[in-house]
C-alpha cells in the first residue's frame, strides 16, 4: 500500500514577486474593471482607482516616518480602509498585524506589544467594542512602542490622525520615496502577522511573507476557476486568512471583483449583495450558509448568478452542502482546509468533485505543496491510516514572531509544519480531517485553544483550578464548557465567572457552560481526561452530537 505522502506537482510556476508588484500589474491589465465594492460604504472602485488610492496611502504612511519592516496594526471590521491598508502596507514593505475585532483590553495590549507595532489603524467602534476608548484606557504607558494612531471614519479624537488624510494625493516627493522603497522589497520579506491562539497560553504571531500569501491566494482562485468576470461576495472577516487571502488575494490575482456586503456577517445583507451585484462566488463558514438558507426571505432572492465559492472553517453537514448546490445554485462550491501558519490552504476540493467527496473530505493537495501523515514517532503511515498532518512548501510561515523556541516546536529541521490535526489520506489522494491531537475547539469558525481561556479564568481570585473543553452545539458547532474547582471556603456562580470575562477576552471565548467540581477525571499519571469531561457534559446537558457524512 502507498504511503500517506502527497505532492501537488504543477506546471504553473509560483510568483517570485511582491504583492505590490503583482497588484500593480493586475491593476494595469484590469484598469477599468471593478475591483472593490463595499455595499455599506457606497464604495465602487475600479482596479485603476484602487491602485492609485493604495499608492497614496502607502506613500503617506512612509511620509509619517514609518520604514519597511515596521509593524502596523489594523483593528477594524470589514471596510474599504481595511482592503486599502492591506495593499498599501504590502507596497510600502510595512508588516500588517491583524487584530481580531472581538479582542478586548488584555488581548489587544498583548498583540500590539508582542508585534512591536509602531502604528495602529483602528475603527472608532464596532458592535459593543469601543476601540478608541479601549486604546485610551490602555494609554501610552501600556503601549510604549505605538507612535501613530490612525482612526477610520469621520469622528476626530485628539492624538489621532484620520485615515482620510492618508487617502489625500501623495506629494511627488512622497511618491518618489515610495517607488524607491518598493523597488528594494523582496518576495521573501515578511508582510503579515496573524495571531493564533496557543495551546500554551498566549497567542502566537504567525509571520507570513509576500511569497506565502500571494501564491496561496492565486491557487485558491485557480481552484474555483476565477477570471476577471467573477464577482466574489466576502462576508467573512478580513482579519482572518479567509477574508484577506482566500478573499482579497484570490480576487486580485485574477482581476475578479471583491464585494463586502457589510462590516460583519448579516444573512440578509449577504443575500441582498449577491442579488444586487450579480455575484458568481460566495464565501462562508457552514453557520453562515445555514443562516442564509434559513432566512425567512431566502426564497425572494435571485441567486442564479452564483457558481462557486468556498465553505471552510468547520465540517460541513451534507444537507447544508446539498442546499448550497441546489437552492443557492453553487454547483461548483469548494471546501478548503489549512491553518494560518500555512498561508493558509493546503487542501481544496475541485469544482468537479462529487458532493460526497466535498462533504466527507477537504479535497486534494494544493499545487506546489507537500503533505505527509505521520505516526507518533514521525514515520509516514500507509494510505488510509490516521496520523498527524504535516505540511511543507512555499506556504509554510517564516515562524512565530519573536519566538524561535515555539517556532522550532512547530517546524522541524526539514521545514515540515506540524499541524496538530489528525488526518487520513485515501488511495486517490483525498484528505479527511478526523480529529485534533490537541484539544482545539472550533466555535462558529473561530479557533479557540482551551489553555488560553483556562489561564485567564485562573486569574479569578476564587479559582483554584480550571479545565475547559468543547461540547457540541447545533448553532456554532461547539461551545466552551469550564469545569472549575474553587479555593477552600469560596463560593461562586456561573454568572460571576462570565462577568469576570466580559470586556477582557473576546465574547466567543467566554464559556457558555460553567460547572463547579471538587475534582477532575484523571489518569493514573495525573493527566486530566478531557474526553471524559466532554462525555459527562453531553449526557448531563442532553446535547446532540452532530453527524456528518
DSSP one-letter string for 254-322: TTPEEEE-SSS--HHHHHHHHHHHT-SEEEE-HHHHHHHHT-TTGGGS--TT--EEEE-SSPPPHHHHH
Q: Enumerate residue ranges in the chain where pLDDT < 70.
A: 197-201, 435-436, 438, 523-527, 546-549
pTM of the model: 0.86
Q: Give the start-to-end residue ranges of the domains of the chain.
A: 17-186, 441-541
Residue 547's pLDDT is 45
Alpha carbon 151 to its chain centroid, in Å, reads 23
Peptide bond into 344 cis (omega under 30): yes
Cell 494544493, residue located: 366
Architecture of domain 17-186: 3-Layer(aba) Sandwich (3.40)
Which residues, including other chains, have CB under 8 Å from residue 357's CB and lie 6 or more apart?
349, 363, 430
The H-or-E segment that residue 442 falls in is strand 441-443
- At residue 178, φ and ψ (nearest 5 deg) are -60, -45
Cell 486568512, residue located: 241
Residue 526's pLDDT is 53
Residue 522's pLDDT is 75
Sign of CA pseudo-dihedral 383, 384, 385, 390 = positive
**What is the C-alpha separation between 479 and 501, in angstroms, rounded?**
15
Residue 523's pLDDT is 55
- At residue 227, φ and ψ (nearest 5 deg) are -135, 180
Paired residues of 372 in beta bridges: 5, 390
Alpha carbon 201 to its chain centroid, in Å, reads 19
Mean pLDDT of the residues in the chain: 94
3-state secondary structure of 96: strand
**What is the C-alpha separation between 205 and 192, in angstroms, rounded?**
9
Residue 439's pLDDT is 72
Sign of CA pseudo-dihedral 269, 271, 276, 280 = positive
| In contact, 287 and 476? CB cutoff 8 Å | yes
Residue 549's pLDDT is 33
- At residue 181, φ and ψ (nearest 5 deg) are -65, -50
Q: What is the CATH number assigned to the segment(s) 441-541?
A: 3.30.300.30
Residue 546's pLDDT is 57
Amino acid at each position: 500500500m502507498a504511503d500517506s505522502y502527497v505532492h501537488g506537482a504543477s506546471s504553473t510556476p509560483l510568483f517570485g514577486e511582491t504583492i505590490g508588484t503583482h497588484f500593480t500589474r493586475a491593476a494595469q491589465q484590469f484598469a477599468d474593471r471593478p475591483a472593490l465594492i463595499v455595499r455599506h460604504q457606497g464604495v465602487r472602485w475600479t482596479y485603476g482607482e484602487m491602485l492609485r488610492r493604495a499608492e497614496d496611502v502607502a506613500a503617506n504612511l512612509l511620509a509619517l516616518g514609518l520604514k519597511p519592516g515596521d509593524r502596523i496594526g489594523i483593528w477594524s471590521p470589514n471596510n474599504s480602509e481595511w482592503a486599502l491598508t492591506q495593499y498599501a502596507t504590502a507596497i510600502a514593505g510595512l508588516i500588517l498585524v491583524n487584530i481580531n475585532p472581538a479582542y478586548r483590553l488584555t488581548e489587544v495590549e498583548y498583540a500590539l506589544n508582542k508585534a512591536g507595532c509602531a502604528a495602529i489603524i483602528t475603527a472608532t467602534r464596532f458592535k459593543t467594542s469601543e476601540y478608541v476608548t479601549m486604546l485610551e484606557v490602555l494609554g501610552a504607558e501600556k503601549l510604549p512602542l505605538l507612535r501613530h494612531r490612525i482612526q477610520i471614519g469621520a469622528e476626530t479624537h485628539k492624538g489621532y490622525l484620520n485615515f482620510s488624510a492618508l487617502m489625500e494625493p501623495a506629494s511627488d516627493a512622497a511618491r518618489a520615496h515610495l517607488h524607491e522603497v518598493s523597488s528594494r522589497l523582496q518576495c521573501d520579506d515578511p508582510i503579515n502577522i496573524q495571531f493564533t491562539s496557543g495551546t500554551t497560553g498566549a497567542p502566537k504571531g504567525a509571520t507570513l511573507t509576500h511569497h506565502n500569501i500571494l501564491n496561496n491566494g492565486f491557487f485558491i482562485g485557480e481552484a474555483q476557476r476565477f477570471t476577471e468576470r467573477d464577482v466574489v461576495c466576502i462576508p467573512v472577516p478580513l482579519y482572518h486568512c479567509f477574508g484577506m487571502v482566500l478573499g482579497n488575494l484570490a480576487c486580485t490575482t485574477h482581476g475578479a471583483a471583491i464585494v463586502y456586503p457589510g462590516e460583519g456577517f448579516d444573512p440578509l445583507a449577504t443575500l441582498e449583495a449577491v442579488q444586487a451585484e450579480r455575484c458568481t462566488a460566495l464565501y462562508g463558514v457552514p453557520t453562515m450558509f445555514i443562516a442564509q438558507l434559513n432566512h425567512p426571505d431566502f426564497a425572494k432572492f435571485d441567486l442564479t448568478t452564483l457558481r462557486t465559492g468556498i465553505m471552510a472553517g468547520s465540517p460541513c453537514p451534507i444537507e447544508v452542502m446539498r442546499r448550497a448546490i441546489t437552492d443557492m445554485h453553487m454547483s461548483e462550491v469548494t471546501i478548503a482546509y489549512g491553518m494560518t501558519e500555512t498561508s493558509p490552504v493546503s487542501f481544496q476540493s475541485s469544482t468537479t468533485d462529487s458532493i460526497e467527496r466535498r462533504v466527507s473530505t477537504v479535497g486534494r493537495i494544493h499545487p506546489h505543496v507537500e503533505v505527509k501523515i505521520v505516526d507518533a514517532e514521525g514515520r509516514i503511515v500507509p494510505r488510509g491510516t490516521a496520523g498527524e498532518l504535516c505540511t511543507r512548501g512555499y506556504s509554510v510561515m517564516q515562524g512565530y514572531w519573536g519566538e524561535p523556541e515555539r517556532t522550532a516546536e512547530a517546524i522541524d529541521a526539514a521545514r515540515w509544519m506540524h499541524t496538530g490535526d489528525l488526518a487520513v489520506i485515501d488511495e486517490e489522494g483525498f484528505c479527511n480531517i478526523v480529529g485534533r491531537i490537541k484539544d482545539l475547539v472550533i466555535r462558529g469558525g473561530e479557533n479557540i485553544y482551551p489553555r488560553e481561556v483556562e489561564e485567564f479564568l485562573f486569574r479569578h481570585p476564587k479559582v483554584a483550578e480550571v479545565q475547559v473543553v468543547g461540547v457540541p452545539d447545533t448553532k456554532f458547532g461547539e461551545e466552551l464548557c469550564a469545569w472549575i474547582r474553587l479555593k477552600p471556603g469560596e463560593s461562586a456562580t456561573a454568572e460571576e465567572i462570565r462577568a469576570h470575562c466580559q470586556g477582557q477576552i473576546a465574547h466567543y471565548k467566554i464559556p457558555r457552560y460553567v460547572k463547579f467540581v471538587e475534582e477532575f477525571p484523571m489518569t493514573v499519571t495525573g493527566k486530566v481526561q478531557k474526553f471524559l469531561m466532554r462525555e459527562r457534559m453531553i449526557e448531563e446537558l442532553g446535547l446532540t452530537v452532530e453527524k456528518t457524512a
